A and B are shown apart, each in its own frame.
Chain A
Amino acid sequence: GAVVSQHPSRVICKSGTSVKIECRSLDFQATTMFWYRQFPKKSLMLMATSNEGSKATYEQGVEKDKFLINHASLTLSTLTVTSAHPEDSSFYICSARAGEWGNEQFFGPGTRLTVL
């Protein structure tokens, strides 16, 4: 199957700083990328959907000014957690899809963010 990578795999930062997480589709062009957040022993929660070249669509309750998403190319999307706080500590997972909505999503391995 197609490969999606995330970088970094783990990051620790101080409260108040910003952190950028990258999601790359390595062997296909991803017209749509999704960002999820996973809490311990909880399901993945969709945060936002991004289409290449347009603004991301955020799910209800997700602060768009706090979680900045950029999908600048067909192989790269970034999630920036701005002014991070300890409650932002979580596991962030991206997925990427080529073409239409019925196509399979391919998932990255996730990024563990810890805010001190």
Chain B
Amino acid sequence: GDSVTQMEGPVTLSEEAFLTINCTYTATGYPSLFWYVQYPGEGLQLLLKATKADDKGSNKGFEATYRKETTSFHLEKGSVQVSDSAVYFCALSPSNTGKLIFGQGTTLQVKP
């Protein structure tokens, strides 16, 4: 079945460091891909998404490109801030279902 695999955390970075969180997926058809972020004590929020191959989603300085050839959707940010500390979830939605299948989440801790 469809699945999402994220890199194990936690990831600890200093402020202004470059961030990459790897995400790969297995799916039939043409899924949409998402990154969600969960700040402490809050619900998951959509960070960015891409709906077809080679699309780049971006928001708040974060970017991810839908790579069908490598079945990947890695999250990147050029310069992280302490306020980016959160849990990040990669997810896919199989074609025409509206459902979400999540990776296990990666905790990011940014230190001043």
Q: Residues on A close to B: CB < 8 A?
A: 1, 4, 32, 34, 41-46, 49, 93, 95, 97, 100-102, 104-110
* Bound form: Cα–Cα A109–B42 in Å: 5
> In the bound complex, do residue A44 and residue B102 qualify as a contact, i.e. CB atoms below 8 Å apart?
yes
Closest beta carbon of chain A to B11's beta carbon, Å: 14
State in angstroms the CA–CA spacing of A56 and B99 once bound together: 14
Given A42-B104, A44-B102, A110:B96 Cβ within 8 A: no
Which residues of A lie under 8 Å from residue B96 when comparing CB positions? Answer: 101
Count residues of chain B with CB under 8 A from any CB of chain A: 19
B4–A43 CB distance below 8 A? yes
Whether B43 lies near A93 (C-beta < 8 A) is yes
B1-17 contact mask (Cβ, 8 Å, vs A): 1 or 0:
00010000000000000
Cβ distance A108 to chain B, nearest Cβ, rounded Å: 5
A–B Cβ pairs within 8 angstroms, 26 of them = A1-B46, A4-B43, A32-B98, A34-B100, A42-B104, A43-B104, A44-B89, A44-B100, A45-B102, A46-B100, A46-B101, A49-B98, A93-B44, A97-B98, A101-B96, A101-B97, A102-B98, A104-B46, A105-B100, A106-B43, A107-B36, A107-B43, A107-B44, A108-B43, A109-B43, A110-B43
- Tell me, in angstroms, the Cα distance from A93 to B87 when the chains sit together: 15
By a beta-carbon cutoff of 8 Å, the part of chain B in contact with chain A is 4, 36, 41-46, 89, 96-105
The answer for the CA separation of A97 and B41 in the assembled complex, in Å, is 21
Residues of the B chain whose Cβ atoms lie less than 8 Å from the Cβ of A41: 104-105
